[in-house]
Chain A
Amino acid sequence: MASAPLARSVGEAVAPSPRRPAPMLRAVVRRADVVRWLGRTGAVIPLAALVFILVVLLIESLPAIRYNGLHFFTTTVWNEGVSYNALPVHSGGVYHMSGAAFGALPEIVGTLLTSLIALIVAVPVSIGAALTIVERLPRRLASLVGIFLELLAGIPSVIVGLFGALTFGPFIAHHITPVIARNVPDVPVLSFFRGQPGSGEGLLTSGLVLGIMIIPIIASTTRDLVRQVPILPREGAIALGMSDAQCARRVTLPWVGPGIVGAVVLGLGRALGETMAVAMTCGVALSTVPGNIYTTMTTIAATMFNYLDTAFLDGTGFAVRTIAELGLVLLVITMVVNIAARWLVRRVSGIALPVGRGV
Chain B
Amino acid sequence: MAKKFRLAYTAAAVIPLSVLAAACGSNGNSPSSSGSSTPAASSAKMVGAALPSAPNSAAASVTETGSTLLYPLVSAWAADYQKQFTKVTITTGATGSGTGITDASTGTVNIGASDAYLSASERAANPTLLNIPLAISAQQVNYNVPGLKTGLKLDGKILAQIYSGKITKWNDSQIAALNPGVSLPGTTIVPLRRVDSSGDTFLFTSYLNAQDPSVWTSSDVGTSVSWPSVSGELAEQGNGGMVTGCSTTKGCIAYIGVSYETQTNADHLGQALLQNAAGNFVAPTASTIVAAASGMTSKTPPDETLSMINSPGAQSYPIINYEYAIVNTKQSDGVTAEDIRAFLVWDLTTGQSASKYLDAVNFQPLPAAVVTLSENQIKKIGA
A–B touching in complex (CB under 8 Å): yes
One of B77-85, B123-131, B331-339 contacting the partner? B123-131
B26 within 8 A of A: no
Nearest to A199 among chain B residues (CB) is B249
| Inter-subunit contact B16/A88 (CB<8 Å) | no
| CB closest chain-A residue, reference B105 | A315
B98 CB–A CB distance under 8 Å: yes
B263: interface (CB < 8 Å): no
B248 touches A200 (CB 8 A): yes
Q: Which residues of A contact B126 (CB under 8 A)?
A: 315
- Asked whether A286 is an interface residue with its Cβ less than 8 Å from the other chain, the reply is yes
Q: In chain A, residues 288-343, which have Cβ atoms closer than 8 Å to a Cβ of chain B? A: 288, 296, 306-317
Indicate if the CB atoms of B119 and A307 lie closer than 8 Å.
Answer: no
- Which of A79, A87, A88, A309 is close to B196, meaning CB atoms less than 8 Å apart? A309
Which of A51, A170, A196: most chain B CB closer than 10 A? A51
Bitwise, B1-30 to A at CB < 8 A (1) or not (0) is 000000010011101110110001000000
Q: Which of A40-48, A118-126, A264-272 contacts B (4 or more CB under 8 A)?
A: A40-48
Indicate if B298 sits at the interface (CB-CB under 8 A): no
- Residues of chain A with a CB closer than 8 A to B176's CB: none
Given A52-B20, A84-B222, A310-B196, the answer on whether A315 and B229 have CB atoms closer than 8 Å is no
Asked if B107 CB lies within 8 Å of chain A CBs, one says no
Task: Judge if B226 is at the interface, Cβ distance under 8 Å.
Answer: yes
Interface string of A83-95 (1 = CB under 8 A from B): 1111110000000
Does any Cβ of A come within 8 Å of B235's Cβ? yes
Query: Given A83-B223, A285-B233, is A52 in contact with B98 using a C-beta cutoff of 8 Å?
Result: no
B95 touches A309 (CB 8 A): yes
Q: Is B37 an interface residue (CB 8 A)?
A: no
Residue of A nearest to B19 (CB): A52
The reply to whether the CB of B57 lies closer than 8 angstroms to some CB of chain A is no
For window 72-125 of A, CB contacts with B under 8 Å fall at 77-88, 97, 99, 101
Q: Is B36 an interface residue (CB 8 A)?
A: no
Number of interface residues of A (CB under 8 A): 50
Interface pair B8/A201, CB less than 8 Å apart: no
What is the CA–CA distance of A308 and B195 in the complex, to the nearest angstrom? 10
Known A-B contacts A51-B12, A87-B121, A284-B236; the reply to A313 vs B221 at CB < 8 A is no
Whether B222 pairs with A83 at a CB distance below 8 angstroms is: yes
Are A306 and B119 touching (Cβ within 8 A)?
no
Chain B neighbourhood of A48, CB < 8 A: 11-12, 15-16
Q: Does B99 contact A (CB under 8 A)?
A: yes
Indicate with 1 or 0, residue by residue over A141-178, a CB within 8 angstroms of chain B CB atoms: 00000000000000000000000000000100000000
Return the contact of B248 from the options A44, A77, A170, A310 (Cβ within 8 A).
A170
**Do A80 and B224 contact each other (CB < 8 Å), given the known contacts A51-B16, A285-B235, A309-B96?**
yes
Among B16, B97, B195, the residue within 8 A (CB) of A306 is B195
Let me know if B235 and A51 touch, CB within 8 A: no
Contact of A262 with B by CB under 8 A: no
B245 at the A/B interface (Cβ < 8 Å)?
A: yes
Min distance, Cβ A350 to any Cβ of chain B, angstroms? 23
Q: Once the chains bind, are B124 and A315 in contact (CB under 8 Å)?
A: yes
CB-based contact B11/A44 at 8 Å: yes
Is there an interface contact between B237 and A284, defined as CB atoms closer than 8 Å? yes
Closest A residue to B252 by beta carbon equals: A199
The answer to whether B120 has its CB under 8 Å from any CB of chain A is yes
Chain B residue at smallest Cβ distance from A201: B234
Check B197 for interface membership: any CB of A closer than 8 A.
yes
A85 to B216, CA, bound (A): 14
Nearest Cβ on chain B to A57's Cβ, whole angstroms = 11
Complex partner residue of B197 from A81, A283, A287, A310, CB under 8 angstroms: A310
- Within 8 Å of chain B (Cβ to Cβ): is A238? no
Q: Is the C-beta of A35 less than 8 angstroms from some C-beta in chain B? A: no
The reply to whether the CB of A32 lies closer than 8 angstroms to some CB of chain B is no
Q: Taking CB as reference atom, which chain A residue is nearest B112?
A: A312
Interface: B32 (CB within 8 A): no
A321 to chain B, nearest CB (A): 13
A94 to B236: give the CA distance in the assembly, Å: 31
Complex CA–CA separation, A310 to B201 (angstroms): 11
Q: Is B218 an interface residue (CB 8 A)?
A: yes
Distance in angstroms from B19 CB to nearest chain A CB is 7
| B99 lies within 8 A of A286 (CB) | no
Closest to A96 in B: B121
Choose from B24, B222, B234 the contact partner of A199 (Cβ within 8 Å): B234
Q: Which residues of B contact A284 (CB under 8 A)?
A: 195, 235-237
User: In angstroms, how far is the closest chain A Cβ from the Cβ of B2?
Assistant: 15
Question: A352 at interface (Cβ–Cβ under 8 A)?
Answer: no
8 pairs, A vs B, C-beta closer than 8 Å: A48-B11, A51-B16, A55-B16, A55-B17, A85-B218, A287-B229, A312-B197, A315-B125
Known: A83-B122, A101-B226. 9 other contacts (CB 8 A): A52-B19, A82-B221, A86-B120, A196-B232, A200-B248, A286-B235, A312-B96, A313-B223, A315-B120
Question: B residues near A, CB below 8 A?
Answer: 8, 11-13, 15-17, 19-20, 24, 95-99, 101-102, 118-126, 188, 195-197, 202, 218-219, 221-227, 229, 231-237, 245, 248-249
In the complex, the 5 A-B pairs of residues with the closest C-beta atoms, listed nearest first? A52-B16, A309-B96, A310-B197, A312-B98, A315-B121
